[in-house]
Chain A
Amino acid sequence: MIAASGQPAPAPAEVDERVAPHEPDPVRPPAPGVAVPGLYLLVIVGSIAGVSLLAWQHLPGTLSRRLLAPIALVLVVFLLVFDGLGAARGWFASNDAWVIAIVPPGIPPEEPLLLAFLALFSVVLLRAARRLLGEDDA
């Protein structure tokens, strides 16, 4: 390469991998080929809507105040014990290419919605199984 002054341009500095080895963060996600921030949130909201509609149509009494107990307990235990602790301690990480934001210590806003959905889905499956097998719902 020749610089404008006619003098050879200095060679780019070479990085000595033995001196400064590149150690990627083990939980940092790789660069994704496809990323749609918000799609994950839409899927969760759509799942909540779909399962709620099924419960409303086929399992009367599911969408009631009683449902607040499993949702609240799951949110408290799993958000604090697994997600809060796990994100803070680096067990796992969310890919910011797919979530709408990451709130310290590393939890996306989608997570509480996902947990609420999983609690709803658990109750719907439990009630459906009890009805199918002719068992009491308590």
Chain B
Amino acid sequence: MPEYTATTIVVLALTLLVAGRRGLLRRRSTWLAAGIFSAVTIVADLVLTGLPIVTYDPAQLSGLMIGPMPIEDLGYGVALFLLAAIAWDAAAPRSRRR
């Protein structure tokens, strides 16, 4: 499996696992925010890969593309969103944690 694809799957799986254990995936707000974040990620990434500001080695990709954007970038974005959400909740004052 291409390295970028494999790394994205591993990091996304780990963030989903931690988010699930912390109860984030049971909250509708997480899915709503993740959906908006994903939509913005696709638009921004199409610009980044279309100009291009970033280019990829095709051998490191799964080959699933949204226009010039590799699908791995969407996994990267969702993992980043989940990691930020996990950290934001973990840093909450103790009295406010669920």
Q: Chain A: residues with CB nearer than 8 A to chain B?
A: 26-30, 32, 34, 40, 66-74, 77-78, 81-82, 85-86, 89-95, 98-99, 115, 118-119, 121-123, 125-126, 128-130, 132-133, 135-138
Q: How far is the CB of B35 from chain A (nearest CB, A)?
A: 9
Residue of B nearest to A133 (CB): B29
| CB <8 Å contact, A77 and B11 | yes
How close is A77's CB to chain B, nearest CB, in angstroms? 6
A66-B53 CB under 8 A given contacts A121-B37, A135-B27, A138-B98? no
Whether A126 contacts B7 in the complex (CB less than 8 A), given A135-B27, A136-B96, comes out as no
| Contact A98 to B53, CB < 8 A, known contacts A89-B3, A125-B33 | yes
B55 near A82: Cβ-Cβ < 8 Å: no
Cβ proximity bits B58-98 to A, threshold 8 Å, 1 near / 0 not: 11100000000000000011001101111111111100111
Cα–Cα distance between A119 and B29 once the two chains are bound (Å): 17
Contact indicator A126/B80 (Cβ below 8 Å): no
Q: A91-B60, A95-B55, A98-B53 are in contact. Are A82 and B29 (CB under 8 A)?
A: no
Q: Which residue of A lies closest to B85 (CB)?
A: A126
